[in-house]
Amino acid sequence: MTHVEALPTWAALATAVLVLIGAALTLIGAIGTLRFGTFFERVHAPTLGTSWGTGSIALASIIFFSVLESRPVVHEVLIGVFITVTTPVTLMLLARAALYRERAEGSTRVPPHSVVRRARHLGAGEESGNDAP
């Protein structure tokens, strides 16, 4: 890494801290997928890496290249925006597929479809689903 000689110390420190935070969040999320017992708990784990994990590594890259080339380099924002927009789509589709599969098997661990239909008769009262074990 001979190209970083021109980099001031504050920029190197900021890049280092942000890269480490992002990688640590991604690692914690991956450990979460190992530790959680059910699928619907595991859905929460990768969002650590896709929200602030991606955000802070992209931010580190922006700081690094902007200072290195002494002009604003912000194209990493595109990755942040793209991940923020696409992750909910993927996870929502996946959660619905999992719900559909569990219901098709007659599992009692997921609330039945009547939970989201019930309030039409009762009015918009405080409705709550049954808890998973």
Partner 1 sequence: MSRVLPYPLLTAGLILMWLLLNSFSLGHLLLGTIIAVAASRVMAALEPSKPRLRRWQLIPRLTAVVTLDILRSNIAVASVILNPRRCDRVSGFVAIPLELRDKTGLAVLACIVTSTPGTAWIEYDSDSNILLIHVLDLVSEEEWIALIKNRYETLLMEIFE
Partner 2 sequence: MTEAILVWSVGIAQAMLVIAMACNTYRLIRGPRAQDRVLCVDALYVSAMLLVLTFGIRTGSSLYFEGALVIAVIGFVSSVALSKFLMRGEVIE
Between the CA atoms of 76, 82, 83 and 84, what dihedral angle is there, to the nearest 10 degrees? 110
Rank residues 12 and 79 by Cβ distance to partner 1 and give the closer one.
79
Q: Of 12, 52, 66, 111, which one interacts with partner 2 (CB under 8 A)?
A: 12
Q: Which does 15 bind (CB under 5 to 8 A by kind): partner 1, partner 2, none?
A: partner 2
> Considering the rule CB under 8 A, would residue 100 count as an interface residue with partner 2?
yes
Smallest distance from the beta carbon of 121 to partner 2, in angstroms? 28
Q: Which residues of 47-83 are buried (b: 16+ CB within 10 A; e: fewer)?
A: bbbbbebbbbbbbbbbbbbebeeeeebeebeeebeeb
With a CB cutoff of 8 Å and minimum separation 6, the contacts of 121 are none
Return the DSSP state at 130: P
Q: Which of residues 20-59 bind partner 2 (CB under 8 A)?
A: 20, 22-24, 26-27, 29-31, 33-34, 39, 42-43, 45-46, 49-50, 53-54, 57-58
d(CA 104, CA 6): 61
Q: Which of residues 52-111 bind partner 1 (CB under 8 A)?
A: 52, 74-75, 77-78, 84-85, 87-88, 91-92, 95-96, 99, 110-111
